Amino acid sequence: MYRFLLTRQWLILALITLVLIPTMVELGFWQLHRHEHKVAQNALISHNLKARPVPVAGLTSPGHVVPRSDYWRAVTATGTYDEKHEVVVRRRTATDGAIGVHVLIPFDLKGGGTIMINRGWVPSAADQHAFPDVPAVPKGEVTVTGRLKADETTSASGIKDISDLPDRQVMLINSAQQAKLLSRPVLGGYIEQTGPEPKGDSPELIEAPDDGSIGPHMAYAVQWWLFAAGVPVGYVVLARREKRDRLAAAAEAAAQAAAAEPEPAKA
């Protein structure tokens, strides 16, 4: 009755079915892991943004790799800006999507040491080789608040760090790179400035990361698992339909054969 399942066509269909089921199950778990990662990341962002600010020197040091648990940690830094060595980070977007640069400046801490501070976004210069118009920093000792961020790397950011850029322009925010340019130790990571609030002509501060959006990953996971469950059901439905069609075709052929037989002669 189901011997047609042993034909080449149906064996190939069965093989595809066996491949699709675990693939879809795995895709579902992949989306589930993405959902769990997003939930954990949102919880970390929310916790670190709401935590009481601590001095940045207590969380990092020269050569230190900022751990994920300290990402977006609220920090403070007291010292003076080193405006002479200010640089801009190319190809950065503003809140409205405009392409410009981030302003990166060394900040000499009161107790010793240097930390890089991302002051925010400004438009690029009309000439990409020129240094843009960057508002001046406050003179003298100031206290800055911000979010601690890990060094950007080529592999993590996807941005190719170009070595032959114009003077005072970089592609990545990286403390090791800046330490080499400054010829002095720089604390690992950098501060994404949040305060003091900008006044007048100041760089546009970077918005805080979203700690509420989870995305549709869980829905996608359920969708993939439903697809996985539906594949064998579809195979069975197709097989039963094929059986029904074959039986109907055989019955029709038998009826046609019976109709074509000559009637027996009468005595």
The 3-state DSSP class for residue 106 equals strand
Structure tokens at 105: 């400046």
pLDDT per residue as tens digits for the range 36-51: 988 888 888 888 888 8
Instruction: Identify the residue whose tokens are 């949102």.
Output: 42
Residues 83 and 80: their CA atoms lie apart, in Å, by: 9
Of 190, 192, 213, which Cα lies nearest the Cα of 43? 213
pLDDT per residue as tens digits for the range 211-258: 667 788 999 999 999 999 999 999 999 999 988 888 888 888 788 877
Q: Is 22 exposed, middle or buried (0-12, 13-18, 19+ CB in 10 A)?
A: exposed
Asked whether the whole model's pTM tops 0.75, one would answer no
Q: How many CB atoms lie within 10 A of CB 151?
A: 21
Percent of the chain with pLDDT over 90: 62
